[in-house]
Structures are given as C-alpha cells and as structure tokens.
Chain A
C-alpha cells in the first residue's frame, strides 16, 4: 500500500507539507516562526493551513462517542487469581491440562515458543536511543563510577561542601533509581544502589534523622528520605520500612506550628519554601504508599502552609507571599511540583493551583539565560506534574541540558560545575539534578 506516496496537488509550494505539523503545533518555536513568516508571503501555504484548520475543527467538533462500559470485571475474570499478590500457587499444584502425545506437545511447544519470541520482541522493541536517553545512560555510568566504596558520594572530591554528603548521596541514589527503573535489584547499578542504601541507613540517628544535625539538616534529611522511599518502592525490601518510618517521624517532629519546615538553628522559627518542599515530597510519596497513616495530617498541614505562600499572581514566596530574597522562579517551580501533584481533590487547592499554573506558564516561557540545575530540576518536575500542555516547554529544557553535558574526557556523562549552587553541591549535584530533569515527563 503506497499511502505515503500520494500524488501531489498541482500548484503548491515545496513548504506546504510543513502545514500539517504547523497546525498541530509539532514544530519547534524557531521553525514555526519561520513557517509563519513564509506563509504571509505564500498564498499556497496560507490556503493549505486554512483548509487544514477547517478539517481539524470538523474532526474535533464531532459528537462524543457513547460512554465506555466498565471493563474491569470482564478483564479480571480472564486473569487467574493465582497471578495476584498472596495468591501464588505452587507449580506442583497446577493441574496438567495438555494430555497430547509427546511429539505433538513438543511440536506445539516449539511453535508457541517461536510465536512468543516474535510477539515479545515486537512488544518490547526499544526505539533507537535518543540523545536524551543516551545522556541519562551516561549520567548513570558516571555517577556509579564516582561512588565511594562506603556507598556515599564524596562532596569534597567533586567540588562540593562536606556537610552536604547525605543530601548528595541521596540525590545520586535518587538519580540511579529514577534513571534505571525496575533495575534496582538486577540491573547494572543494583550494587551501587544497595551500597548507597546501606550507607544512608548506617548514618541514621535514633531520632530518625539521616546524619549530623548541621544547619542544613533538613535539606540532607528531606532529600535522603525521598531517595529511601524510592529505594523501598524499587526493591520491595521490607527491612527498609522501619528506617523510612523513623525518617518520616523525624519530618513530622520537625514540622513547625505554621505547618512548614525551616533551618533548625533559625531563632525566628520561620519556615521556608525551599526546605519545606523536600519534606512535602517525602510525605506525598509516603502517603501514596499508604503504609504510614500518621503522616497524612502532617502532609495536609504542610500543603496548607505552602498554599499560603502563593501570591495573587501565582508566584511563590520564600517565607511569605511576595518574599523573594533571590528570585521567584525556582520557588514557584518547587511549590508547583507539590501542589500540582496533589491534584485538586484537597479543599481550596483548585483555586491555588490555577494561579500557580498560570505563573508556571510564565516561568516556563522565560527560561532565562543562566544555567541553574536546581531550577531546571524543579521546573522539569513541575512541568511534568502540570500535564501534557507543558510537554513542549519540558522538551526545550531537556534539549538544553543534553547539549550542556560533558561528552568527552574523564567526566564524560556529567555536567560541569557552572551554576550558582555548584560551590555547595559540586559535580554530584549538577549531574544528579540535570539527569533527573531529563527523566521527567514522557
């Protein structure tokens, strides 16, 4: 069937084929602008775009199809109960159904195997690695190679500050888990993941805190807890439930009356968005897992506090609305990650989210010139939580990050320490944040 080689219309310019991608918003900003400019001078293309727009309007305005029936019961009826958790049946107990002569069974098995291999190959065929996937793979390899024997990642070796060893180890662990899903137990980085988890558990204090009580303890603790929660999910290791539970208790214990979290040696006792968001991310993931019911009130209280930081214009302040000691974009992206993921089921969140969403659109459309990996990570997470309308903006950020990575030499696969926070987190931070940004979204 020659569907791709239809006869061309009589008088169209060579650029008319771009019209379909243009009306479907499939062109990058620059190409779309160039085509729009061309269209103003080319009546052929303008007419094609007009015609396509009318077709699309007709297709999109079609009456809705009949409501879908619920298929759950019918689908479940076709799956043996033994396939579900806790219903496993021993191999010996299964009845032998086939009672054909041996040669027929062997022949049938052979045919089934051939078909099975074909189907599995078809369904699991992977598209060729894109630059983004390649960058993620190389980042995993670099992080794995830079891990210490102890399981930690050393800040000093990579231009970071020693007091953030816990958070950097948490970030690197989170990255290996995020970039290599379903491979925590058997994949190429399973051992790295295990060593990092063992290291973090060994650093945990009686009160649940990961590491010493430095000024930045809540950063260290929040990031490490998020990473440990993901490790628990990825490995299903029941031994992690207790330390993670204690870590969550520490977050609850350190929650301020206002509902947020702040520096522990801050006499003002005020919470700030930057520290609070990491704790909320941990509580949100824990709530999803449904294993610790006592964190739910704390999570809701924290979300309410965060809602209170959102200004009328949707931008999110540091200690109160419109409080921007440095800038508003990263704080807004951080808060949006939590608020948009929480959905609109919580009371009052719908209105807040609509303001945050507007602000996020503005932040996404003006990415700025300076590299900031922390900003990129939270913006990518927020855009991903914001839904498909943000996919193009997310793709732009990821494209920039892919272009910025180191592609040769000893540090190939990592990102250079070129942003404001590099003096704190060093190369482990830049690489983890950039790689996790690439993981976000579709």
Chain B
C-alpha cells in the first residue's frame, strides 16, 4: 500500500473529476481523458468513422473542457459525454456534406471521391457490414446500447428523443439485422 503525494484522481468518480476540472486541475482532466478515450474512439469507429475517429475524440474532449463549468451532474457523466460526441460527429458530417455539395457544384469529382472515402469505406467484418446496413438513427441506438452500455433512458437523453422512440429504433434495428442474416 503506497501513500499518495497528491489527490488520488484515479479513485475519484467522473462527477468528482469534473468538479476538479472546473477548478482548473489539469491532472483531473488527464484522468478523465485516459478513462474514456478508448470508449469514445470505439463509439466513432462503430458508427463507421474510421480515419477521423481520433480527431473527433479529441474535439469531443476539447468541447467537454470548454463546457466544463456548465456541466450539471444530475445526469450520468457518460450521457453528457456522448451527447457532446454525437454533436461533434453531426458537425463533421455537415462539414463533409457541404464539401460534397461544393464538389458537385464545381464538378470536382476527385474531391467528392475523397469525401466518400473518408466517411464510408468497405466494411471489414460481418458485424461492420451489419451495422453499416442500418440507417444512421438506428445504428446510433445499437452502438450506444450494445457497445457503450447505455440504458434506453440514457440513450433517450443523449439523442433528445422519448424512451419509446429508442425502444422502437432498437426493435427495428434488430429486426433489420435479423432479416439480413437470414438472407445470407
């Protein structure tokens, strides 16, 4: 058993760490990043973002820092984190869409191909193919529930939709994937 020389951030909960980050404690923020970086990267990868996953995870942590003083720990920390992550991804998709529109407008085929390549690529596994076969709204629910371990209620907070919608999306997602497996 070793004695600690400073705050034992490793043993603090996410909420306690956020309180420390608000006070400007850099090491508390480092602990939060290390604790959630893997989960966040996988969130983006499971949603089909490959090349830009690291950039999006970085942007998410930066926004988390930016909005640290507004964080109200009435909801679970991960709910707040994924709410930000989702918005970061939406912003990226919008940016790509704008570039795609511009490329088409100026008939720059090469750039349009680049956009296509960056966000959509050939699935590497059957599971990737199954996930990519889903509409985005369903895929989000599946990824948040199955891979990120969020409950329906938490997902409803992340997406800003009623729990009933989450239930329905999950049902249709599982049914779509089941039908796809049956066709094989």
- For A181, list chain B residues within 8 Å (CB): 15, 19, 72-74
Known A-B contacts A21-B152, A68-B37, A76-B30; A3 and B174 likewise in contact (beta carbons under 8 Å): no
Q: Please measure, in the bound complex, the distance between the C-alpha atom of A9 and the C-alpha atom of B169, giving whole angstroms.
A: 15
Binds A, one of B58-66, B96-104, B107-115: B58-66
| A111 interface residue per 8 A CB criterion | no
B125-144 CB mask vs A (1 if < 8 Å, else 0) is 11100110001111000100
Give the residue name and chain of the B residue nearest to A62 (CB): B127
Option from B23, B46, B72, B87 in Cβ contact (under 8 Å) with A126? B72
Whether A59 and B130, one on each chain, are in contact in the complex, defined by CB atoms closer than 8 angstroms, is yes
A44 to chain B, nearest CB (A): 12
Separation of A348 and B153 alpha carbons in the complex (Å): 37
- Contact stretch, chosen from A188-196, A284-292, A361-369, A428-436: A284-292
Please give me the residue from chain B that is nearest to A343 by CB atom: B11
Determine if A120 and B137 form an interchain contact, defined as CB atoms under 8 angstroms apart. no
On chain B, the residues within 8 Å of A91 by CB distance are none
Set of chain B residues within 8 Å of A120, measured between Cβ atoms = 67, 70
Establish whether residues A6 and B172, one from each chain, have CB atoms under 8 Å apart when the complex forms. yes
A70 touches B1 (CB 8 A): no
Size of B's binding interface in residues, CB under 8 A: 79
Query: Chain A residues near B38 (CB, 8 Å)?
Result: 67-68
Residues 170-184 of chain B, each 1 if its beta carbon lies under 8 Å from chain A, else 0:
111111111001000
Which residue of chain B lies nearest to A294 when distances are taken between CB atoms in the complex? Answer: B3
Contact residues of A between 13 and 32, Cβ < 8 Å to B: 17, 19-21, 23-24, 26
A346 within 8 A of B: yes
B73 touches A54 (CB 8 A): no
Chain B residue numbers with a CB within 8 Å of A84 are 24-26
Cβ–Cβ contact A75 & B15, under 8 A: no
- Is A236 an interface residue when CB atoms closer than 8 A count as contact? yes
Residue of A nearest to B4 (CB): A290
- The 8 A CB mask of A55-89 against B (1 = contact, 0 = none) is 11011101101011111101110110001111100
Nearest CB of chain A from residue B34's CB, rounded to whole Å: 6
**In the bound complex, do residue A3 and residue B135 qualify as a contact, i.e. CB atoms below 8 Å apart?**
yes
Partner of B146, one of A60, A74, A75, A233: A60
A293 touches B3 (CB 8 A): yes
| B58 close to A26 (CB less than 8 A) | no
Q: Say yes or no: A4-B165 contact (C-beta < 8 A), given A20-B174, A127-B75, A442-B154.
A: yes
| Chain B residues, CB < 8 A from A1 | 135-137
Q: Which of A17, A26, A127, A234 contacts B151 (CB 8 A)?
A: A26
Alpha-carbon separation in the docked complex, A346 to B2 (Å)? 9
Q: Which residues of A contact B37 (CB under 8 A)?
A: 68, 70-72
Closest residue of chain B to A287 (Cβ to Cβ) is: B8
- Residue of B at shortest CB range from A82? B24
B54 part of interface (Cβ distance < 8 Å): yes
- In the complex, A74 Cα to B41 Cα: how many Å? 14
CA gap between A28 and B23 in the complex, in Å: 40
The answer to whether A236 and B146 touch (CB under 8 A), given A21-B170, A26-B152, is no
Nearest A residue to B9 via CB reads A288
Q: Does A391 contact B (CB under 8 A)?
A: yes
Residue from A3, A76, A291 in contact with B26 in the complex, judged by beta carbons closer than 8 Å: A76
Residue contact A182 to B22, C-beta cutoff 8 Å:
yes
Determine if A123 and B58 form an interchain contact, defined as CB atoms under 8 angstroms apart.
no
**Chain B residues within an 8 Å CB radius of A103:** none
- Residues of A with C-beta under 8 A to B57: 71
Cα distance, A358 to B147, chains bound together (Å): 26
Residues of chain A within 8 A (CB-CB) of B93 are none
By a CB distance below 8 angstroms, the chain B residues around A125 are: 160
List of A residues within 8 angstroms of B62 by Cβ: 75, 78-79
Q: Output the least CB separation between B140 and chain A (Å).
A: 10
The interface residues of chain B lying within 8 Å CB-to-CB of A3 are: 135-138, 169, 172
Bound state CA distance, A296 and B146, in angstroms? 40
CB-defined A-B contacts under 8 Å, sample of 13: A3-B136, A3-B169, A20-B167, A20-B171, A51-B178, A56-B146, A62-B127, A68-B41, A85-B24, A127-B75, A127-B156, A182-B71, A291-B7
Residues of B within 8 A of A (CB): 1, 3-8, 11-12, 15-16, 19, 22-26, 29-30, 33-34, 37-38, 41-42, 45-46, 54, 57-58, 61-63, 65, 67, 70-76, 79, 83-84, 87, 125-127, 130-131, 135-138, 142, 145-146, 149, 151-152, 154, 156-157, 160, 165, 167-178, 181
Residues of A within 8 A of B (CB): 1, 3-4, 6, 9, 17, 19-21, 23-24, 26, 48, 51-52, 54-56, 58-60, 62-63, 65, 67-72, 74-76, 78-79, 83-87, 119-120, 122-127, 133, 181-182, 233-234, 236, 287-291, 293, 296-297, 300, 341-343, 346-347, 388, 391, 442
